[in-house]
Chains A and B, each alone.
Chain A
């Protein structure tokens, strides 16, 4: 039953680069459609590799990843990815970058593509910068361009590899707020990788907490049941938010494991 209801599934996935284990213990995860899942863990813990395998950018050494019950293969338009750096194409204007997201879609006419580009420009608040090149806008805007471009492609799964990692704190919070809103409105199943606990708690419906490499899940946290699904600045300042954040921090440090919020 669970197999049918889960949209994206890891089934006994392991990954070795040569002899080096990145994911040694078979990794299993079932993600229902529309869920915002954050992979949280220290640098080099294998969380990014797990996400890249969803995108087909790396392949499992054993096991398989199922999307709507079908094993995923080479990268395609169903699994869109947003990177931390080099996320937008510097030689294209903001609008052209977003249009690039639809370049390989045959189901849209040129007019429809134009219209959609306009829509996503507005969605991420960049209409006034449509003709600017990425080098002329801020780092936060560049990440918005990348998000809009990926959404324009209309993937089934949105994959994000520390997309806000290079931004300063205030900007990060703004973008987290916007992303959460966009994700809920679009209903896209999202996997978001980060090592920032606060970011994870603010964004996620559910957090998979990883220990140091090789990847090992130390907790699967149901964030909604703990702090609700509404996220805004008040939530960020709330007792529950602070409490959950602290608990996960302790988990990552290897203390208080018994009192963990593990589901």
Chain B
């Protein structure tokens, strides 16, 4: 049943990605002339702001800064006081213009129709996560550090940060190996607010990339669009002998017991085995390198604490 949907998606994806775009290319479109070293950058997506903050070159303006602490919540000190430029989908062009930026960085899937308008305000780069047929969003995020580092003249620091993130993940992998927990099966679910309705992160997601480096066995093996797809009820009931990270949809006031009250959960073997862990509300899976490092540690701690 499922292949038919994937076929359609693959068809659309293959048609909508132009051949000029190689697998490893991150910039879909960029202005012909970019500043040698950008100092006033506007970030139109959380992961870009996060990466800039890690490079110690925080943006002067970013989209939805009021939601950032609740959804990413990392590198907060360096992002304090950044100007709000509206939503991620429809950033306020006037707010951007007033900031007099020398570089605007956005995402192709959101901002491609805006490229000409953005470029009229400042040199613009739109990033595209072409993770190809084998890559994961983690690979793309690691590439992103060097790329954004180059824009803001921080190449050596970018290399250092990338190495540091990879080392941190490797340390987590070592902790798992030491405890004899390598090879355990991992599933990451995103709660959607409806009853027994979840996204499951797929083989091209950041979580899948982390699992690979952590030495864990990630499920499922298929590749959903944007790294997620809907989990069916049958799949939920069949979750047995796996460690499940359930990413919360609500605030910390609702605990795991309340989340899994439904009749269906009573039949999920992994819950009875005590192997379901509630992770606080976040979108680290769609975040940058700091998110990747943090998520790796959270997943590792979870697998180590599981019975």
Q: Do A and B come from one complex?
A: no
User: B residues engaging A (CB < 8 A)?
Assistant: none
User: A residues engaging B (CB < 8 A)?
Assistant: none
